[in-house]
Amino acid sequence: MSTRKTILLTGGAGFIGSAVVRYLIQHRDHRVVNVDKLTYAGNLESLEPISDSARYQFAQVDICDATALQELFQIHQPDIVMHLAAESHVDRSIDGPADFVQTNIVGTYTLLEAARAYWNQLAAPQQQQFRFHHISTDEVFGDLTDTKALFHEQTPYAPSSPYSASKASSDHLVRAWQRTYGLPTLVTNCSNNYGPYHFPEKLIPLVILNALEGKPLPVYGDGSQVRDWLFVEDHARALVLVAMEGKVGETYNIGGHNEKSNLEVVQTICGLLDELAPSHPAGIRRYAELITFVKDRPGHDLRYAIDASKIQRELGWMPQESFSSGIRKTVAWYLANKAWCTHIQDGSYQRERLGVG
């Protein structure tokens, strides 16, 4: 009997989604149907290493399009849904929350209904095997004022931004569809991801690319905000493990065991760049000279930290990368992949998708 499964994965052209797709194609034997609207954060260049695989297919579909989703379910007959599609940048959610409500809440509802209609018409054995895995964030929990506390799976929700509130809403919908309709769902909440192919508006790639160009390295407030940093390839392994072996109805927290302040992260990157890219921009001798403290953003949570003991205990997952090893790999990747970065920065990755220029 074949163990190959068909996985319908939303948001597979994004940062975490593309890492999961690459992992599934390069290290597992499953079929992957990548469903992505291709907003500004979706980049098919991140999937070039696996795009020619016979086990990979791409569908440019908005998860708010119920008819298109229904067609995809009927055509591909997935065994597992991995739902990563989401608007995810906090600053953008503050400036324009409507897109976050639409994609993260309405889109999740639409996908749940499409999955439920498909699941209801499956034969009993296929119903038993089907899984809907919803990927969320630790930001739904708010922040931690106790320096020793950790987020666990039962931590009450207290979102602070439009982004985290919309993700919290989507988590609640997924759990309600399991309780009310019996849809076999799983939820994971992760800490801050970093690694190759990260969109340059995020802290780590922004700092790397700004530093190389001699631009200011913006740090909110005094940089004391603490995050638990998770290497994206470690996260991809964990997500596939949960989708395949997690218990229906359960939530699993996924963390990197790497708490660092934002300032410490920026200083670490500067030190690595001093070593790996020693030809400094004109006027500076050390990249850390570019660090610039800027006004803090509204509702900025002070500390996130994940208790990932459940996934370790029940499924045997542990991160393979320390922050030291992961951030070195990340900086080295950006230095070696300047063409990918340039296509993001000059917008050509979007023009090629739209057939412009």
pLDDT tens digits for range 177-199: 999 999 999 999 999 999 999 98
Distance CA 278, CA 191 (A): 31
- Which entry of 87, 139, 228, 234 is annotated as an active-site residue? 139
- Confidence grade of residue 244 (pLDDT, cut at 50, 70, 90): very high
- For the whole model, what pTM was predicted? 0.93
Counting Cβ atoms within 10 Å, is residue 58 exposed (0-12), middle (13-18) or buried (19+)? middle
In the chain, where are the structural domains located?
6-262+293-354
96 and 213 Cβ atoms separated by less than 8 Å: no
- Which entry of 36, 45, 79, 138 is annotated as an active-site residue? 138
Give the distance from CA 280 to its chain's centroid: 32
Beta bridge partners of 9: 34, 82
252 and 306 Cβ atoms separated by less than 8 Å: no
Distance CA 226, CA 235 (A): 19
How many other C-beta atoms can be found within 10 angstroms of the C-beta atom of residue 181?
A: 13
pLDDT tens digits for range 325-344: 999 999 999 999 988 988 88
163 is catalytic: yes
pLDDT tens digits for range 286-334: 999 999 999 987 767 788 899 999 999 999 999 999 999 999 999 999 9
- Which entry of 23, 109, 163, 334 is annotated as an active-site residue? 163
DSSP structure class, residue 151: B
146 is catalytic: no
307 is catalytic: no
Which residue carries 């992760």 as its tokens?
A: 190
CATH number for domain 6-262+293-354, candidates 1.10.287.3510, 3.30.110.30, 1.10.1050.10, 3.40.50.720: 3.40.50.720
Residues 6+ positions from 168 with CB-CB distance below 8 Å: 140, 157, 159
